[in-house]
Each structure stands twice: as C-alpha cells, then as structure tokens.
Chain A
C-alpha cells in the first residue's frame, strides 16, 4: 500500500466504486424480487416472506452508499496478501482471463466429453494459463489426475462421474 503511486491509487479508487455499484445492484435486485413476492397476510406468519429481503436490501443499498462515500473520501480496502501473493505488481489479467476461459470451457464440455477428458483439458489449460510451459509433462499429469479422480470417486466413494464419450471404455 505504501508502494502505491498516486496514479495507481486513483485508478484503484475508481474501480472500487464498481464494488459499491455491485452492492447497490444486488440490493436493488433483492428489493425488486421482494416487491414481486405474493404474500397475503396470515395470522400464523405475521412477518411474512418479504420482511427479511427488505432488511437485506436496505443493508446492501446502505452499504453501497456508505462504501461509495468512503471511497470518494479516500478510503481504501486493503487487498488481501498471502504466501504466493505479490501485491507490488498490478493484476495480471493475462493469467486470470485464460483461467476463466478454461473454466467456462469445462462447464460446457463436462457433460458432453465426460470428466476424464474435460477435467484433463481443464487442468492442462489452467496450468498453461498459470505460466507452465512443460507441455508434455503437464499433459501426463493432467491425464493422471483426471483418471485417478474418476476411479477414486467411483471405487472409493461410489460416486459415478460422467464418462461422456469414453462411456464403455472406462
């Protein structure tokens, strides 16, 4: 935090307003949903299904305003540190975006190709996104992991992960 230059902190200030906007949007959504609930008054449930959503919406919208004001007055959330976290360099979108992309691919493929292939592709893609360039070793590890977990879950836990196009082979 001490390393932040004025430009960086101004940028951060602006992006943190996005978090306030997200809170506000979530609050509005909860409110909208609560208004549209069908809730006739009943003796046995004087509170009804709406009261708590109203409170939550109020909390969220209140926090959105509070956080927005806090950011505009110069407040900063401290980014979380950690063992492998280096906060001195900015967010590397080149790592995050491919990771999210392989994650999405896995969501689409998992029911079609099955866990073994989809999971292996997912692990391989994630390792690649994170910067490993040992293509062959990565591929071997990926396949090993997905096959082991497939059989581990099947034999050890009795959970049958989808075999997908390898149905009958596995």
Chain B
C-alpha cells in the first residue's frame, strides 16, 4: 500500500470547502468546550458526539479530528490560567504554566503551549502515518487467540498500571464489564441482564453510558463540592514569544514529542508518564534549573508537547487494532461503532477513504488550531469566567439533549441518571472511570474473540495460547500482575528524581497524580 498516495487522497477528501468548514467548526467547538473548566477532552468528545451523528461518516470524522485536538488544547489553556488541572495529563503543564502566568508571562506560556502542541501534533500525526500501516500489516496476520490476549493486556494495563489503587481499578473494570454484558448474546440470542425489559435487549448505548459517566457524573460531583469562592483568573493578551523563548522552547518540544508518542501508543501509556518524564528531563538539562518551580518556559513546552504527541500516539492502536488506551480514544471508538464502522486492521482496507481523510484532517485541524488559538486566546480566557451554575447546568442540559437525541426515548434518560449517579459515587470513592469505559467497550469484543478461539480449538483451553504472539502477550500480562512485587524491590533503592518530582507535584494536584505507582510509595501503600 502506498502510504503517501493514500495520504494525498485523504487530503483531497478533507480539503474540500465543506469539509474544511467541518474541521473549523470542530476545532472551534472542541476548544470552546475544552476550555470550560471541568470539561476534559473525553467529556468534550462525548458531549459533542451527537452533533456529528447527522453528518455522513467522513465529514463527521473530519469534525471529530478538530474536536479531539481542540479539546486537548483547550484543557491546557485552563490549567495555565487557573492552576487547577482538569485532567491528570495537564497536571505537569500547570506547575510551571501557572507560575509563568502569575509572573505576567501568561502570553508566553500560552504561546509555547500552542506552538508546542502544533509541533508535537504534526510530528505525532506523521509518525501515525508511518506506523499505523506497519501495525496493520502485522495485525492482519493475528488470529482470535492473539486478539483475545491483546485485549486482556489492554484491559489489565489500563486497570493495574494506571491509577494508584488496584482494587479500585479492578472494581471499576468489573462494573464496566457487567454493563457491557447487558443485552442479547450475539451467538446464542440469549438476553443477558435485561430483566425482561425489551428496551435493554439491544444493550446499553455506549454513547449514553459515556455521557452518563463522564458528563453527568462529573457535573453532579462538582455540584456537591462547588467551590464558592471564585478562582483567580489571570487576564491574558495575545500570545507571543520573544527570541529567547523560542530558543528555550524548541528543544523541549522535540524531546517532549519523543517521549509522548511511544507512550501514547502503548496499551497503558497515556499522557501522565511522558509528561512527568519530560518535566524531569527538562529540569535536568536546563541551564537555569533554579527557574523551575518559578515559571520556567521549558517546563511548559516539554510536557505540553508530550501531552499532544501522546494523543497522536493513542490513535495508532485505536485505528490499527481497535484498541482504545485512554478515555478520549474510548469515546471515539464508540463513535466509530455508532456509524457501524469497526476499527481494526481491516479498517484500512475497507474504509481507506475515511481513515486517510481522518488522518489528513488531523494535520489540517492542528494547523487550524494554531491559526485560531493564537489570536483568540483572550476570548477563550473569558470563557473561564462563565458563572458556575450556568456551566454545570449547561453540562447536564447538553448531556440530556445528547443522550435523548440518539434514540428519542426517555428511557435513555433513566439510564443516564442511574449511571450518572454511579459516576458520582465512583468519583467520591476514588474509583477510576477509565477502566469502566474501556471494559464496557472491550469486554464484549474480548468475549467474541474468546469464543472464536475456543471454537477453533473445539473447546480445548490450550487454543488460547496457540499463537506465538498470544504467548508473548500473556508473559507481559504476568509481568504486569507481578509488578507490585517488582516495585517493592525497586523501591528499596534510594529514589532520586521520581520522588523529588512527586514532592513538587503533590501539593498542586489534589491527590490525582497517580501516574506511576512506584513514584508514590507511601500513598499507594496506604490505599492498597
């Protein structure tokens, strides 16, 4: 397959005036919603999903590409100007970014974040173009046993590696798998967990579940703990950077990209670890390490690039294997299935036009983002002042509208509220949301592969490890499960940078820096 030819075709599809408008609308909506406090990228995508439903798939995904990067960028603006990161991936950006903003350098912080995001997003998308076909080429040779093993790995990795408390991760996974069971069993036609309710026979709409857990759960949770004192918002002019800022930024951008992309592409990579690594690296390499903690531009440039590159990396397993590795990718996967499109190795063969148009729009969206965000930054910053009652009532309003408009039945709203309350309880008791969503999406597909595998081996359990790839993956799974023991040995050694960083990050992060359990021994111990 000629990759570059396909990509050019993709650009031809994506660059029609109508599709450019969709990309622009996507970028604007994504940034606007992403800037709003309390709305992370996953929630942004979940809330805006219904808007794309009426469009034909190609246009919808072009808009989606814009929403994806727009939501990511919007989140970093919020964390720089408010110093209260909405999602764990912008925790690190907030450390130096907010210090810079307080020192009157908000414009430079926003500029290095925007340009760094652009650089990292462009390089990351180019790497996606290079790697996705390679992964696809490898993936088409895999059979059901290997797929089942890879899905088990993804489920376990998201559950056990991310997050600080394993039991809470597994609890969340169990709930997600149980929700995924609801509906007709596709092989035997048996209704499972439907309790005779015909509306449940088709299973729960993934979009409704995602909106419930992300948007309704979050809105109720914030409502219960709404900060009554207005937070300090730093006024901002048009972002710009001086010569010195450029000189200090470009290397961190590239290094951040190098960290972010591979981690994003791994089943449990996510953006937390690479942003931490980037921060530590920049601090060590900086000629002015004393500035760190007081607003060093390298500390914004590196992690922000890592964050965006990881977002691009996430798309490699998402598009080529159909494996979501973070919440945003999970919601996007739900959108794909909503169109009857099954991401995976066959996607590149069956829907080449759609995939390459999507990838081309990632490039276009990224460029639009830079063009729009630099001049519009002051306007975005004003969005931060929206009265909180309107903001959270608005989230509930649009969540309801979105969930209702999928099927136009009030029964979906009952589900929305029930699962929203579940999302509320999970936030209250520190159950991570991600394993639930990934379990809900991957659970049914893993079951399908399990049954296919054992069908091939006529019920012989050894059929599960009949392929070499499956064996390798199970070894990795075993290592992940054994990690706490390994970590205990590693911890004995004097911790250096990791614990130093944890010490910096802890006070600012509201206890959400659960990126790497091994860096926070006392906390993870306490919760286990």
What residues make up the interface of A, taking CB atoms closer than 8 Å to B? 1, 15-16, 19, 22-23, 26-27, 29-30, 33-34, 37-39, 43-49, 51-53, 56, 59-60, 62-64, 66-67, 70, 74-87, 89, 91-93, 95-96, 99-100, 103-104, 106-108, 110-111, 115, 119, 122-123, 126-127, 129-132, 141, 145, 149, 153, 156-159, 161-162
Contact = CB atoms under 8 A, between A and B. Distances in A.
Contacts of A29: 193
Given A46-B458, A84-B227, A132 B430 contact: no
Contacts of A110: 404, 410, 413
A45 B450 CA distance: 10
A19 B447 CA distance: 27
Contacts of A23: 171, 174-175
A62 B526 CA distance: 20
A82 B424 CA distance: 13
Contact of A96 (B224, B388, B447): B224
B421 interface: yes
B401 A149 contact: yes
Contacts of A85: 221-222, 225-227, 510
Contact of A82 (B38, B391, B393): B38
Given A70-B167, A100-B220, 13 more contacts: A44-B455, A49-B192, A52-B181, A59-B173, A63-B167, A66-B167, A70-B165, A77-B431, A85-B221, A96-B224, A107-B413, A129-B393, A131-B389
B396 interface: yes
B397 A122 contact: yes
Interface residues of B, number: 84
- Chain B interface mostly helix, strand, loop or mixed? helix
A149 B398 CA distance: 9
A81 B510 contact: yes
Q: Chain B CB within 10 Å — which of A30, A49, A129 has the most?
A: A49
Contacts of A48: 188
B57 to A, nearest CB: 15
Nearest to A132: B389
Contact of B188 (A45, A76, A80): A45
B283 interface: no
18 contacts: A49-B187, A70-B527, A78-B164, A78-B514, A81-B84, A82-B510, A83-B38, A84-B37, A84-B227, A92-B224, A96-B223, A103-B400, A103-B413, A103-B417, A106-B400, A110-B410, A122-B400, A159-B53
Interface string B238-261: 000000000000000000000000
B181 A53 contact: yes
Q: Chain B CB within 10 Å — which of A79, A84, A127 has the most?
A: A84
Q: 3 closest Cβ contacts across the A-B interface?
A: A77-B430, A81-B510, A46-B459
A77 to B, nearest CB: 2
